[in-house]
Amino acid sequence: MGLINIKFMKTIYNKISPSYKDYECEAEKYILTLTKPVAEAIRFIEESMQIFIKTIYGYLPTAGEMKWPVLEPNYNKDVRRLVPFHEAYSYGVTDATVHFYIADRLFMRIFRNPEKYLPFLRKCKAVIGPDMSQYTDMPYEMRYRHALCNALMSELLQKEGVNLYPNITWSKSDSFSYSYPQNLRGSVIAINSNAVHKSDLSLYRWRRGYEMAVKLLSPMHIIRFGQTVEGENTTFSSFFNNERLIMLKHGSKRK
């Protein structure tokens, strides 16, 4: 079964007039401020994103010209095991919920060639929507576009028969207007807290976004990946630790 819905999605989006130069300019200005390894990583993300959007739209519209994808709610709270995408795919693990709370480079391949990975993702018990990074020092349109690509891929996966949990993510407060789709009220959602304890500002922004998610979406349940954050409501959440990070902090135990 191929990407049967890509033709359908193009009929929705292909009437938008293309304009990409302004975005490229802003993205390049941002990339030039980064160290070489980080800049190369961000360029790879941007290239992967462009390949994906061209597959769907046929060209590269600016973020403001894109229509936001619509995801279906998921009401199944039975999530017992999370496995990162790259490990699940490498070892053929399908009896778990696959997540993308990993380095972007480890899952950009699904944006570059989604058709290749659809058969595997359909077999998985469930999949949490992609989590392409939205660094707060990025220009607004870059953060918007990354968030939109996460949602667009999630929409495509759902349309192709993948059992998907919406991944709710945000950056600065200017992202709140598009981070909490109202049709997902009462749904089971997923939220990640990796790396938010690095600074007081990161924690503050995470708490604000989390509070908005709870207030606006009234979730049935939250699949929480990462360390618990003081003040969050634990009564309707199931927590999954980043086992790899814990191992790096404390060392692996060998008999």
* Contact between 26 and 141 (Cβ < 8 Å): yes
Q: Where are the domains of the chain?
A: 4-250
Query: What's the rounded Cα separation, in Å, for the pair 215 and 192?
Result: 17
Q: Is the pTM of this model over 0.75?
A: yes
User: What per-residue confidence (pLDDT) applies to 31?
Assistant: 93
pLDDT tens sequence across 99-146: 999 999 999 999 999 999 999 999 999 999 999 999 999 999 899 889
Q: Which two tokens stand for residue 63?
A: 């973020």
* Contact between 178 and 144 (Cβ < 8 Å): yes
What phi, psi does 32 have (nearest 5°)? -65, -15
In the predicted model, what is the mean pLDDT of residues 44-70?
A: 81
Q: What percent of the chain has pLDDT over 90?
A: 70
Query: What's the rounded Cα separation, in Å, for the pair 236 and 30?
Result: 39
Q: Which two tokens stand for residue 154?
A: 């999630």
